[in-house]
Structure 1
């Protein structure tokens, strides 16, 4: 896996500053996602569309630069992780210890289950002979989505709202 990330970083360095600026601009707006999740709850709909909408900038990157797309999804995954940590911190300050413990367990296993599916899809792609760059892009997108869904489920289940 590290070899793929190294290749992506080298490709980004070679692509120049314009590409770096393109992906640095994309930040997941956790407050907007939280609002989207609240709206989905009100409408009794799935929050998946909120995660998909947050990933739209990554999907709009040219297919000719899969390494840039990969880095964009990696940024998104990192931001989801930050959102989970921030929400857990708020929950820890405001909720009973038992609720916090349950939330930690739920997030951990939601994420692990989804990441396991990402690995399964990657192994199937390898079996089909999918190119390494494309596999890495798909796996990173899957991991970002897994993290986003773990965030959404945490917010969905939690009595505490994201600030």
Structure 2
């Protein structure tokens, strides 16, 4: 539900570009997918799924540690991109517009990550193996951070 709400908010905002910067090209690929999906009215969640395809090759039942590492790496990529985007917004808009973006981004990410904590606690009730729970949590956190980045990429005044 939170994910759908976040996606609906993203669709309501105009698309802007993002300064590229990660080694494996995940951020430019995500940006291109977001721009394409938004202009075609497609669901933006597919962009996160596509960006995480590499990590999904590791089944959580048989390779949970590899899956967790991959998703944690992707989460870091998205987090670094959020920081770069915020720096760009600060330089470009500054003042109150930047402060609003900073507050929105912090609370968007916090709310998204809180859902991951909830899912982790529910998984622990099912007595799943710890490595599998960690892989699930890493995937959720990468998705939560990626969705926050998507919303930031679509924000008016985002870097071109």
| TM-score (norm: length of structure 1) | 0.78
CA contact (8 A) 1:33 1:51 kept: yes
For 1:129 and 1:150, locate their aligned partners in 2 and report how far apart those are by CA, in whole Å: 30
For 2:73 and 2:150, locate their aligned partners in 1 and report how far apart those are by CA, in whole Å: 17
Q: Which structure 1 residue ranges, 5 or more long, are not aligned? A: 1-25
> Does residue 153 of structure 2 align to residue 155 of structure 1?
yes
| TM-score (norm: length of structure 2) | 0.80
Q: Which structure 2 residue ranges, 5 or more long, are not aligned? A: 1-22
Where does residue 76 of structure 1 map in the other structure?
A: 74
- Cα shift readout 1:37-83 (whole Å, capped 9, x = no counterpart): 11222123332111111100000124422101100000000000000
Where does residue 66 of structure 1 map in the other structure?
A: 64
When the two chains are superposed, the root-mean-square deviation of aligned CA atoms in Å is: 1.6
Moved more, 62-71 or 129-138: 62-71
- Which contiguous aligned blocks of 4+ residues in structure 1 show a shift greater than 6 angstroms? none
Cα 1:111/1:137, change in 2 over 3 Å: same
| Bigger helix share | 1
1:13-92 matches, within 5 Å, as 27=24, 29-63=26-60, 64-92=62-90
Number of matched pairs: 137
Q: CA deviation at 1:159?
A: 2.8
Larger Rg: 1
Moved more, 110-119 or 56-65: 56-65
- Cα shift readout 1:77-108 (whole Å, capped 9, x = no counterpart): 00000000011111111114111111111111
Highest RCO, 1 vs 2 (Cα 8 Å, sep ≥ 6): 2
1:109-128 matches, within 5 Å, as 109-128=107-126
CA contact (8 A) 1:27 1:75 kept: no
